[in-house]
Amino acid sequence: MDKRNSKYRWIVFVSVLFTYLLMASQRTAPGLITEQLMRDFHVAASTIGLLTSIQFFVYTSLQIPMGILADRYGPNFFLIIGATLTGLGTIIYSFGTHEFVLFFARILTGIGDATIWVNMVLILAQWFHTKEFVRLIGLAGMTGSLGFLLATVPFSAWIDLLGWRVAFFTAGFLLCCCGVLLYFVLIKKPQRISFVEQEVVTHNVQRENTVALLRRIFSNRQAWALFFCHFGVVGGYVGFISSWAVPYGMNMYEMTRSEASQLIMIGLIGALIGAPLFGWISSQLEMIKRPYIVVQMTVLIGWFTFLLYKGQPTPYLLIILFFIIGIGYGASALSFAAVRKSFSLKDSGIVSGFVNTGGFLSAVLLPIIFGLILDYFQSTSGNLVDGYYYSFITPVLFSIMGLIGIISYKEKLQETEDKTNIHTS
């Protein structure tokens, strides 16, 4: 049976995306209990900050290795292991009695989390035709944003009802169950049905060694174009929204913490809309580059508007800007649709990992640079207005790099599906 024309592929799609929804929620869920952790474990804010960021460092550092492993050994096994590790890490977190246990749990969760996106992209590429993939990758991106949404009011209510330990234990247990579910959906059932693979499997060809593979990918202009494309649009949203958005609203607009957090919700709504919208537009146009150029230019204009208004746009314009930034983040899933169209499936894993590294590298760098600029102005002049104004130069520069990346991307307009031995150099 042809797996790309079977109805079973939709069971695969739903199972994988449900797992991604739960895993994405655990990226930010610990932020809901920050004050309680500081009180229960008697730790400083800097320790909590490190605890929060360590998962993202692990996630970012493992993207390229995970891409290599997924290409070599297949994505199914690693996605199953990743879901299980994330579940075990979350369960250990719920039983933590010392900050070292919490750190170990978040590292374990980060390792599991590092498996999800690259392997999910490969699994969808194996089960769906290219045109379907371009549309569905947008839904996959929306699922990640829904995971972030799940980790706000719904999970907070769950914590209030059961206490944080029981709430996190429940989430961990569900993720372990997802690991079991994926084993039956991705491995056990397909073995019984005996699906016919569409890709050309080259068993008799000696595998390329890792050094040569890395050298080839790192010297590929197309891969670097998509790296910077993803770098430019992801860091602004993830980096700024997750670290400085709330302080910015409180300091520049005298908002309460609750009011400032609504800015994050506006960005999240934009991300929920942007992912499926631009996936659908690209699928209808049967092209990625032009819609993505529009996204990159719009995000750049959005960040540049902060500079035009000296770091303090009007409140109504501020809402629009956060919405635009969110749409840009949602549309960033197009980076992986571009990978699918430009590279053979045998290289899709490492290239997807390489491109995803670009996005989360900017998400790690932006809060640091933003904070250093703020500290400089606060220590020298005590002027936070100037501090925020000059800090916004950082996302503007990142966005320029993203625009250069997508302009440098050379799109294959002719369909190349099923020609897996073709490589773009």
In this prediction, residue 322 carries a pLDDT of 93
**Domain spans of the chain, in order of start:** 1-193, 210-413+420-425
Angle, to 10 degrees, between the axis of helix 289-308 and the axis of helix 334-342? 150
CATH superfamily for 210-413+420-425 is MFS general substrate transporter like domains (1.20.1250.20)
In this prediction, residue 9 carries a pLDDT of 92
The answer to whether residues 338 and 409 touch, using CB atoms and an 8 Å cutoff, is yes
The burial of 413, by beta-carbon neighbours within 10 Å (0-12 exposed, 13-18 middle, 19 or more buried), is given as exposed
Would the pTM count as exceeding 0.85? no
The answer to whether residues 248 and 313 touch, using CB atoms and an 8 Å cutoff, is no
Sole residue written with tokens 């890490």 = 89
Gap between the Cα atoms of 19 and 78, Å rounded: 13
For residue range 16-74, what is the model confidence (pLDDT) as tens digits?
999 999 999 888 788 778 778 878 888 776 676 677 678 878 888 999 999 899 888 88
Gap between the Cα atoms of 395 and 3, Å rounded: 42
3-state secondary structure the chain: CEHHHCCHHHHHHHHHHHHHHHHHHHHHHHHHHHHHHHHHHCCCHHHHHHHHHHHHHHHHHCHHHHHHHHHHHCHHHHHHHHHHHHHHHHHHHHHCCCHHHHHHHHHHHHHHHCCHHHHHHHHHHHHCCHHHHHHHHHHHHHHHHHHHHHCCHHHHHHHHHHCHHHHHHHHHHHHHHHHHHHHHHHHHHHHHHCCECCCCCCCCCCCCCHHHHHHHHHCCHHHHHHHHHHHHHHHHHHHHHCCCHHHHHHHHHCCCHHHHHHHHHHHHHHHHHHHHHHHHHHHHHCCCHHHHHHHHHHHHHHHHHHHHCCCCCCHHHHHHHHHHHHHHHHHCCHHHHHHHHHCCHHHHHHHHHHHHHHHHHHHHHHHHHHHHHHHHHHHHCCCHHHHHHHHCHHHHHHHHHHHHHHHHCCCCCCCCCCCCCCCCC
For residue range 271-293, what is the model confidence (pLDDT) as tens digits?
989 988 998 999 888 899 999 99
Who has greater pLDDT, 255 or 10? Answer: 10
pLDDT at 92 over 90: yes
Other Cβ atoms closer than 10 A to 248: 24
Gap between the Cα atoms of 218 and 208, Å rounded: 15
Structure tokens belonging to residue 231? 């770098």
Burial 127-162 (b: 16+ CB within 10 A, else e): bbebeebbbbbbbbbbbbbbbbbbbbeebeebbeee
In this prediction, residue 295 carries a pLDDT of 96
For residue range 381-403, what is the model confidence (pLDDT) as tens digits?
777 888 889 999 999 999 999 99
Q: Looking at residues 85-101, what average pLDDT do you find?
A: 92
Pick the closest to residue 345 from 417, 239, 271 (CA basis): 417
CATH 1.20.1250.20 fits 1-193, yes or no: yes
In this prediction, residue 334 carries a pLDDT of 92
Q: Looking at residues 85-111, what average pLDDT do you find?
A: 92
Could you give the C-alpha distances from 167 to 30, 160, 174, in angstroms and in order?
A: 11, 9, 11
Q: Residues, the chain, total?
A: 425
User: How far from the centroid of its chain's Cα atoms is residue 205's Cα?
Assistant: 34
Q: Looking at residues 299-326, what average pLDDT do you find?
A: 94
